[in-house]
Amino acid sequence: MDSRHTPQTTPSVDPERAGDQVYDIVLVGGGSAGCALAARLTEDAGVRVLLLEAGTAAEDLPQTVGYPPAWPVLAGTEANWGDTTVPQDSGSSPGGPGPSIMLPRGRGIGGSSAINAMVFARGHRTGYDNWGSHGAKGWSFDDLLPYFRHSETALSGAPGRGTEGPLVVGPMTEPNEVLLACLDGAVETGQRRAHDISGGLEEGFAPVDLNIVGGRRQSAADAYLLPVLHRPNLDVVTGALAHRLLFEGERCVGVEYGVQGQVHSVRAAREVVLTAGSIGSPQILLRSGIGPERELREAGVDLFHSLPGVGRNLHDHPLVNLVHRTRRTVPPAAGNHGEIIGLVRSAPELLGPDLQILLVDVPFPNPVAEVDNGFTIGVSPMLPFSRGTLRITSADPYAAPVLDPGYFTDERDVKAVLSGIATAREIARSSALAPWGVEEVAPGPDVTDQEALARYTRTVYQSYCHPVGTCALGEDEVSVVDSELRVRGLDGLRIADGSVIPSIPSSNTNATVYAIAERAAALIGNAS
């Protein structure tokens, strides 16, 4: 195995010692973006970097983290923050609240890349067209392409893919047989057979790239952080929950954080960079008095800097599942369960794909019936119109955030899913799947009218775990960071994670977060 993926320990620096140091850069959050930035910034031996992570060291995560098929159980471990949304009011339950949705996110070195389903895909290039809608400059798909390539070594060898990056990515060489039958069914029903569905240039169905190397998960820690821990200019403190940012005037000069009940602080000579994700980063801003004045006042937090966009624009990919039973036994999973995806348009007049069809080799749990043997076809609106909010209730860093993504509050998202359900049903009824003896269990073959399917869509769904947008990128008054990821109106403070994504791309978001971090490293380096 390549030395970049050799397991190593994560030495955690004593917080007292860290507090005695003055670092050039302090990174807050050791997930995908934080690991990538720590590695890239410390390539310059003259730059001292401290990485703070609220969760555990990589070696203290559950052993099942490394085994790809086990990822669904990780949401029930301490490697997940355990967030849930408020009851969702999407018109599904007249006179009563809708469902509360689990929203898993990683807690520990590697962040969500240590517990996710390991899909590594850019999303179609048209999914980035709205990134400049609030004035952001230099964030089109073509602008991001060099940073996508810098992050990866793509085994496909397809045009536009990276060949020297730390993440070694590629599809399963032998996808599950039932998923191959679904792929044949998609082509049989008129869908395009893509070559590199992960590269951002194609529509259609194909095996998707995965963060799996040698049969093991490759997290951000594995690819970026662990191989560089020997660098003398890099320190890591785990179990360190950021309480608030420290300022002198309008300049951010450090971070106050807690470790095992003790409060510590650390100074940054150049910059503090928030890499705590779409939930963690806005929480830190809000606890520091940076955000919408009214909401801060209601939470009992003194206003330090008014930024109305903090915590706004929260959105995510909901996932609606069609669960099937099969008479033929589905082989046990060897990969991530969801080894093949489709990117399709819900309407032919659209400029690009707005739906993902996810082919899964296990029957997802559902409220209709338990299925021991079968598969799932998931439908997710990739460019959702629905938007929500993140709020805090106090300055207590240990208080859970109030999360309201507003799933399906825009009827256009429901309409897109209905189109995807029709596509999924065509695939399941194809002759390619006939030998498997397929029976739809949820929502069930009798659920055919659009109103009933819309009701199923609004009530029987889950998060695809891609929250973004709470510190959105742009140059207008609702934007939180500018085109160089600097928090607007303040000095010495940037954000470089999924929270800056103004409009979610048409795929799983982890590859895009890596590209944001790669670009942030270049911006910070150029500012030195």
Q: Quick one: which H or E segment has residue 264?
A: strand 262-274
Residues serving a catalytic function are 466
What is the per-residue DSSP string for 334-372? SS-S--EEEEE-SSTTSSS--EEEEEESS----SS---S
Q: Model pTM?
A: 0.96
448, burial (CB in 10 Å: exposed 0-12, middle 13-18, buried 19+): exposed
Q: Could you identify the residue written with the tokens 């949705």?
A: 101
Q: Phi first, then psi: give them for residue 305, nearest 5 degrees.
A: -150, 120
Q: Is there a contact between 476 and 312 (Cβ–Cβ < 8 Å)?
A: no
Phi-psi domain of 157 (left: phi exceeds 0; alpha: psi -120 through 50; beta: other)? left
CA neighbours closer than 13 Å in the CB half-sphere of residue 194: 23
Q: What is the mean pLDDT of residues 101-126?
A: 97
Q: Which of 300, 279, 250 is nearest to 468 (CA)?
A: 279
Measure the CA angle with vertex 15, ends 9 and 19; round to 5°. Answer: 130
User: What are the strands, taking DSSP E only, across 144-261?
Assistant: 152-154, 167-169, 204-207, 212-213, 216-217, 234-237, 241-248, 251-259
pLDDT value, residue 370: 85
How much is the mean pLDDT over the chain? 95
C-alpha to C-alpha distance for 210 and 117, rounded to whole angstroms: 8
Higher pLDDT, 223 or 16: 223
Reported as a pLDDT band with limits 50, 70 and 90, residue 1 is very low
Architecture of domain 11-526: 3-Layer(bba) Sandwich (3.50)
Reported as a pLDDT band with limits 50, 70 and 90, residue 22 is confident
C-alpha to C-alpha distance for 78 and 329, rounded to whole angstroms: 33
Task: Please tell me whether residue 17 adopts helix, strand or coil conformation.
Answer: helix
C-alpha to C-alpha distance for 259 and 281, rounded to whole angstroms: 18
Q: What is the mean pLDDT of residues 423-428?
A: 98
Indicate the residue type of 256: E
pLDDT exceeds 90 at position 16: no
pLDDT value, residue 439: 97
Find out whether the peptide bond into 443 is cis, omega within 30 degrees of 0: yes
C-alpha to C-alpha distance for 316 and 504, rounded to whole angstroms: 7
Q: What is the mean pLDDT of residues 63-87?
A: 96
Percent of the chain beyond pLDDT 70?
Answer: 96
Higher pLDDT, 527 or 83: 83
Residues 6 or more apart from 383 whose CB is under 8 A from it? 127, 354, 503, 504, 506
Reported as a pLDDT band with limits 50, 70 and 90, residue 236 is very high
- How do residues 452-462 score in pLDDT, each as one tens digit? 999 999 999 99
Domain ranges of the chain: 11-526
What is the per-residue DSSP string for 458-516? HHSEEE-S--B-TT-B-SSTT-SB-TTSBBTT-BSEEE-SGGG-SS--SS-SHHHHHHH
Higher pLDDT, 15 or 377: 377
Low-confidence winner among 97-101, 174-178, 295-299, 304-308 (lowest mean pLDDT): 97-101
